[in-house]
Structure formats: structure tokens, C-alpha cells
Amino acid sequence: MSQISLTFPDGNTKEVPAGITPAEIAEGISKSLAKKAISAQVNGAHWDLAWPIEEDASIAINTMQDDEAALELIRHDLAHIMARAVQELWPDVKVTIGPVRDHGWFYDFDRAEPFTPEDLGAIEARMKEIINARDVVKTEVWDRDRVRQHYIDTNEPYKVELLDRIPGDEPIRMYWHGDWQDLCRGPHLQHTGQVPADAFKLMNVAGAYWLGDSSRPMLQRIYGVAFKNREALKAHLTMLEEAAKRDHRRLGREMELFHMQEEAPGQIFWHPNGWRIYTTLQDYMRRKQDADGYVEVNTPQVVNRNLWEASGHWENYQEHMFIVEVDEEHAREKTVNALKPMNCPCHVQVFNQGLKSYRDLPLRMAEFGSCARYEPSGALHGIMRVRGFTQDDAHIFCSDDQIEAETQKFIEFLAGIYADLGFTDWKVKLSTRPEKRIGSEEEWDRVEAALGNATKAAGYDYTINEGEGAFYGPKLEFVLTDAIGRDWQCGTFQVDPNLPERLDASYIGRDGEKHRPVMLHRAVVGSFERFIGILIENYAGKLPLWLAPRQVVVAAIVSDADAYCVEVVEKLKAAGIRAEADLRNEKINYKVREHSVGKVPYILACGMKEVEDRTVSTRKLGEKQTKVQSLDEIVAELVAEAKAPDQR
RNA sequence: GCCGCAGUAGCUCAGUGGUAGAGCGCACCCUUGGUAAGGGUGAGGUCGGGAGUUCAAUCCUCCCCUGCGGCACCA
């Protein structure tokens, strides 16, 4: 038998017979390691203890102390255990796939009846029985035809299809625990009892298309979460509760920011508090844009079909457009219009007025453009995904050789805004040429390189989103990570030579000839509606003072202090602070609680002591202790803190 | 759009084949209270919309709308 050389984590090497398994290696090291071992890393790959090693390799034995390997195995095996439990309870259910994901796993089933919450309880109970049975996991490599015949015989059509999708040269592994069998690439634990029985939970059932394809059957997906121990599971469930508390739909109600109702699905009724956030953010963006060389325009909402046909939207985007037909009294035919889903065609119309010179470029045309898109009903989500929204949109008309410089300028612009708004953790993705595209390979090469180079020049790294660009050009996407680790794609930057062509935009070059400009579509926050939702959730409603709709409530402790409270409010208002008095016949405890729930950043309480000393008792949101300050002191402090970041 | 679940007072929710309840909020009264809910009284609902079954429907059936969780979508 041939020998192979294994390298251990400590750098030692050992000659062993080819075909040795990690289980045997662990056994050779120590009895206790053999007992604790759960899997191995072989040349960096996650390796089942039972898989033979046939060539020279580096090897490390994993135990339950190795979090990544342990969680992977626990979650993966739970997917199989759940599938087995389901088939034991309902033998006619067809199994499909069940990958590890996020904090757990999911498994998709084909079953005529929907799973109910009671079913989930039954499945969970059955899973615990399987775990307690400590069934040994067995593995065998089968040849392809045998697997296919097996799944034809057992009437598992999805497995047959999966089998056919496995590349021809990969070994096909069959696993068992108990009598239950599955096709799976592994690795696995050694027996079901290694899975902690009290550290998982089935969360919910949802529909999911087979292979993610909306033309394929809808399956039922059961989601589960799993951890190494019960404490970790509990911590996760607590985290979910905390996340639910910062849900912008809930905070939107508690802070009286907005509401939505069924007469206008996907559109927002902004209340005074919410609209204050909106206009504050928009004012800030306008100042930033003005300072960065943009000109602001405003264009029509309802635009005739002719323009959408010329731009290509009528052909490619019509299903997402609100169509407005108007019977004009004297017209022979109805005129057909659409609410604009995007601003770009209108901006080209502005550009096309009058002859443009190369001296006018780059022309940075901005609009807080109100758009309407008929989003699929299932996509709507609070104020994050809506049918009526306003973008911080702009189009930069420029020549080819200005693309790179404009890209870099934009990234620097965006970075400053994200920092001002409290987001320092964000990344750049470069989406490259898709399969269906226009333009030459040389053009794509050049423009993709321009975007990549500009990103680096601005001081940022990027990852590639292969094939995710628009059909007319590549794009950059800016994804920010919020306070609880969720990613949101907000900023975008797209190179578009297509629309100027379609809408016949041109400028006169230095050579006196007509040239075609390129358009750079760009946005920083994306839609104000969605971005405000992100801000609310990121800050859990505790917005920085400059964005907070109600900045200060002056609360009377006794009614004899009412007049003084009003005086304090007037003084704050005169200094530009958004302040109101709370003179209601309630105890200070009640007022403090209510305004804390309403996320008011500062409560200034005033009783007779404050009246006599002309002071206030300041309580900052989220803090328990209070501070007695003179009127002048608190006004000065608040004025300083309430300044927008660009005005400090 | 697809699968599943849900829709009862402003909010959170309970409930029943015989025209409905709680807590909070709201109004009024008492209380003037020192930093996260003081007490009392009262008002408030076409039980999402439509059709059907029934002597009778908020409750059962069907259709629609909206929301929620996913999936798909996000030229």
C-alpha cells in the first residue's frame, strides 16, 4: 500500500498509508481526541471523519470547540434529521434539499397539505426522539445508476433531478441514520446524538420555488435555527425580539411618523414627525449636492407613452408602470400616459434643450424625483419597498474620458454622506457584463476597468458581482451594514451609453462635431422612504438630534411651573430647536415614560426649584441620571448638537 | 405574482351560529405629583369588502382587498 504524508497544525508531518481516515488518525493521536473528534479540515476542506485521505495533505481534527465546523455539522445534520422526522410522520412527503443557512438551516418539502404550527411541534418532538436514539451515521459511495434507480423506485423525483445536476466526476454519497437515507455531499457527525437536543427550534414555514425558479412547483420550506447549546439559542431568540422592537413599522407608529392604508397600498401617509425627518434629510442632501457641483431640476410625473417608447421603458418595464389613460374632451383617442418610474428620460429632455457644448460637461443634473412603480404585491414591505417614492437621483452627462474621474468624485461624495448619517461600515460591489448585453467587449473592458480603478483611487476595495451589470453597462453598488449587522444596498452608480443614444442626446465637441455623451445614473441614499426606514431601524428610533423630529419636550412637574415651561420652549424655538411643552395633568413619571417610548432625545423637567433658579432638569434619552443646568447652558448645548453634520 | 397565515375599538389582543369584550390610549373629574404607567367615571365597533348557506352570520362556504412570513421580482 502506498504511503502519503500528512502535515499537522503544529507543523509536524507523518507518513501514513493512503486511504486512512481522520477517525483513524485521531485514534492514533489519543483516545480522548478520538472521542471528541467530530470532523476534520483536510487541505482546508471540511472532511468527514469517515472519508479516506488518498494523497498528501494538511490535516486538523475538529472538535465541538471548533465553532465553525461544529455549527456547520449540527445544522446540516438537523436538516437531515428534520427531513427524516417529516417522512416518518408523513411517508408520502417528497424530500428535496436542505442547506445550512444564517443561524440554522431550511429544508424544502413537497406535500399536498400545508404544514401547520402544530405540525412543526410534532416534527420538533420527533426530531428529539431521533437525536436521543443516537443513530449511527453511515456513509457509502454509490454509482450514479444505482442512485437513480433507488430514487425512481422510492418515488423521489426531486432527488433524481438533483442527481442529474451533480457533475459527472463527483463521488455520489449516500447517508443513513437509522433506516432513513439521503443523498448528500456531507460531511456529517458520527451519530445523531451528537446534535444538542435542546439548542434548536423550528421557526416558520414559507413557500419557496423548486430550485428558486418561479416556473417550477412551489414547495414548503421549513426554517430552523440551531446552536451549540441552549444558552446560545436563547440569546438568538432574544436578539430576534430586540430586532422586532426596532422594526420601522412599529416605531413608525410609536413615534407617530407615518401610516399606510389599503386605499393606497405601497404608499405613505407621512405624519408631521415623519415628514420632519424626511425634509431634514432632503435639505441636508440638497446642501451636499449644491456643494458638489450638481444643478437641481424637477420634471413631470405624468408623461406620455411616446417618451417611454423612445426610452425603451414601454417595452422593457411596462409591467412595473402605472398607466394613466385620459379621455380628453376633444381628442379622438385617449391619450396614454405613465407615471414616471424613473427620472432619467426626463433628464435627457432637459439636457436636450438647447445645444450643449463639451464645455458644459460634466453636467451633473439632480432631482429629488418622485417616482411610481407598480411593484409586485408580495414585494411591498413597510416603507422599505413601496410603490411611490422619491430618489436622490442624478444623472451626470459626460464624455467617455470623464467617467473615471466622475466615478471617483462620486464615491468620495457618497462616503462623506454615509459617515455623516452614521454609517461607517459599507462596501462596494462592481457588477460586470451580463450575458444579454449591448456594446463591444472593448467598451465593457474599458468601462469596467474605469469603475474599478476609480474605486481604488477613492481608497476602497470592491468585490465583483459577476454578470450582474445592466445590459447597457456595468455598475457599482454601495452596501451599508447597519447596527445589527444587516446589509442594505443603497447607493448605486451606473454607466449608460444606451439612453443618450435612444433619446438622441448630443453635445458639440472641441472639434465642432456632434458627439454622444454618456449618462451616469447615480444615487446615494436611493429612495428617501427606504433610507428613512433603514435609519429608524439602525438607530432603533433613537435618531441623532439633528434628525430627530421632536428634539426636546419641556415637561412641567407641577402646574405652577407651566408658564416657565412655555417660556423655556419659546426660548428653545427661538434658537431653532424643535421643542414642545408637556403641561398635561400627569405625573412626571408618566411624562418621562411616554416621551421615552416616543424616542424624544431630551426631556427637560421643570418644577418649582427650576422656576426659582431659572434652570432645567435635563434627561437624555436612554440615560437614567438627570442634570440640572441653567437655561443658557442647555440652549447652547442643544444648538451645538442639533446642527446638521455639514453645518458644524 | 406564488405558497402559507391573518384582518374584531386609535393600538395590542380575547371571544361567540342568536346584532361583542379586556388592557392601553382618548374625554371629563379628583389628584400638584421630582424622572419609565396615581385614582375614578365615560365615550368609542356596519367584527376588511362582496356573495352564498341558514329562521338567524362577526363566527360556516366561496370570491375579492389589505397586511404579515418567505419565495420570485427589483430592465
**Size of chain A in residues:** 648
Q: A638 CB contacts (<8 Å, ≥6 apart)?
A: A545, A551, A552, A572, A575, A577, A602
Q: What pLDDT is recorded for position A556?
A: 95
* Mean pLDDT, residues A614-633 taken together: 95
For chain A, the helix, strand and coil percentages under 3-state DSSP, each to the nearest 5? 40, 30, 35
- What Cα–Cα distance (Å) separates residue A350 from each residue in A258, A298, A319, A342, A397? 34, 9, 26, 14, 11
d(CA A426, CA A488): 9
d(CA A162, CA A583): 69
Of the given ranges (A117-121, A312-316, A371-375), which has the lowest mean pLDDT? A117-121
Catalytic residues of A: 344, 373, 391, 393, 395, 475, 521
Does A554 have pLDDT greater than 80? yes
Does A1 have pLDDT greater than 70? no
Does A173 have pLDDT greater than 80? yes
Reading the block at residue A58, the C-alpha cell is 494538511
Contact A187, A39 (CB under 8 A): yes
Residue whose CA lies closest to nucleotide B10 C1': A253
Of the given ranges (A235-244, A528-537, A590-599), which has the lowest mean pLDDT? A235-244
d(CA A373, CA A322): 7
Q: What pLDDT is recorded for position A350?
A: 97
- In the 381-400 segment of chain A, residues within 7 Å (Cβ) of strand B are 381-382
Nearest to A607 by CA among A624, A592, A597, A623: A592
- Any idea what DSSP says for residue A644? -
- Which residues of A501-551 form beta strands (DSSP E)? 507-508, 514-515, 518-527
Angle, vertex CA A77, rays to CA A98 and CA A235, nearest 5: 95
Q: A475 CB contacts (<8 Å, ≥6 apart)?
A: A430, A431, A451, A469, A492, A493, A494, A495
3-class secondary structure, A99: coil
d(CA A370, CA A368): 6
Nearest to A358 by CA among A129, A592, A211, A518: A518
- In the 148-187 segment of chain A, residues within 7 Å (Cβ) of strand B are none
3-class secondary structure, A220: strand
Q: Of A567 and A102, which is predicted with more confidence?
A: A567
Of the given ranges (A27-31, A240-244, A271-275, A408-412), which has the lowest mean pLDDT? A240-244
* Mean pLDDT, residues A542-561 taken together: 96
Amino acid at A451: L
DSSP A229-270: SHHHHHHHHHHHHHHHHT-HHHHHHHTT-EE--TTSTT--EE
* Mean pLDDT, residues A338-360 taken together: 96
Closest nucleotide to A114, Cα to C1'? B4
* Å separating the CA of residue A192 from the C1' of nucleotide B14: 42
Mean pLDDT of chain A: 93
* Mean pLDDT, residues A374-398 taken together: 96
Closest nucleotide to A612, Cα to C1'? B34
3-class secondary structure, A441: helix
Amino acid at A305: R
The 10 Å Cβ neighbour count of residue A76 is: 23
Query: Exposure pattern of A242-271 as b/e (b: 16+ CB <10 Å)?
Result: eeeebbbbebbeebebbebeeeeebbbebb
* Mean pLDDT, residues A107-111 taken together: 94
Q: What pLDDT is recorded for position A117?
A: 82
3-class secondary structure, A83: helix
- Determine whether the distance from the CB of A587 to the nearest atom of strand B is below 7 Å: yes
SS (H, E, C) A19-35: CECHHHHHHHHCHHHHH
* Mean pLDDT, residues A612-625 taken together: 95
Does A390 have pLDDT greater than 70? yes
* Å separating the CA of residue A153 from the C1' of nucleotide B32: 83
* Mean pLDDT, residues A242-268 taken together: 92
Q: Determine the distance from the C-alpha atom of residue A176 to the mean position of all C-alpha atoms in its chain, rounded to a whole number.
A: 37
pLDDT bin (cut points 50, 70, 90) of residue A169 is confident
d(CA A53, CA A22): 8
Burial class (CB in 10 A: 0-12, 13-18, 19+), A456: middle
Annotated binding site of A for Zn(2+): 344, 395, 521
Q: Is the dihedral of CA A144, A150, A151, A152 positive or negative?
A: positive
Q: Determine the distance from the C-alpha atom of residue A115 to the mean position of all C-alpha atoms in its chain, rounded to a whole number.
A: 28
pLDDT bin (cut points 50, 70, 90) of residue A167 is confident
* Mean pLDDT, residues A531-544 taken together: 96
- Determine whether the distance from the CB of A544 to the nearest atom of strand B is below 7 Å: no
Q: A266 CB contacts (<8 Å, ≥6 apart)?
A: A260, A375, A380, A385, A386, A387, A388
* Å separating the CA of residue A594 from the C1' of nucleotide B31: 20
A603 forms beta bridges with A553, A619
Q: Of A336 and A334, which is predicted with more confidence?
A: A336
* Mean pLDDT, residues A623-647 taken together: 96
Q: What pLDDT is recorded for position A335?
A: 86
* Mean pLDDT, residues A510-517 taken together: 96
- Any idea what DSSP says for residue A49? T
Contact A414, A459 (CB under 8 A): no
- The values of phi and psi at residue A248, to 5°, are -65, -25
Does A331 have pLDDT greater than 70? no
Its ipTM equals: 0.94
pLDDT tens, position by position, A292-302: 999 999 999 99
Annotated binding site of A: 344, 395, 521
- In the 342-361 segment of chain A, residues within 7 Å (Cβ) of strand B are 342, 344
Does A609 have pLDDT greater than 70? yes
- In the 216-275 segment of chain A, residues within 7 Å (Cβ) of strand B are 218, 220-221, 249, 253, 260, 262, 265-266
**Omega before A434 within 30 of 0, i.e. cis:** no
d(CA A292, CA A151): 64
Residue whose CA lies closest to nucleotide B33 C1': A587
Q: What pLDDT is recorded for position A54?
A: 92
pTM of the model: 0.92
Closest nucleotide to A596, Cα to C1'? B36
Does A112 have pLDDT greater than 90? no
* Mean pLDDT, residues A221-244 taken together: 91
Q: What pLDDT is recorded for position A238?
A: 87
pLDDT bin (cut points 50, 70, 90) of residue A242 is confident
- Determine whether the distance from the CB of A566 to the nearest atom of strand B is below 7 Å: no
Q: What pLDDT is recorded for position A332?
A: 67
Element (H, E) at A390: strand A388-398
Q: How would you classify the pairing of strands A94-95 and A100-101?
A: unpaired
pLDDT tens, position by position, A54-96: 999 999 999 999 999 999 999 999 999 999 999 999 999 999 9
Computed over its alpha carbons, how large is the radius of gyration of chain A?
31
The 10 Å Cβ neighbour count of residue A36 is: 14
Does A330 have pLDDT greater than 70? no
* Mean pLDDT, residues A301-312 taken together: 95
Burial class (CB in 10 A: 0-12, 13-18, 19+), A479: middle
Query: Exposure pattern of A130-157 as b/e (b: 16+ CB <10 Å)?
Result: bbeeebebebeeeeeeebbebbeeeebe
Percent of chain A scored above 70 by pLDDT?
99
Q: Determine the distance from the C-alpha atom of residue A86 to the mean position of all C-alpha atoms in its chain, rounded to a whole number.
A: 32
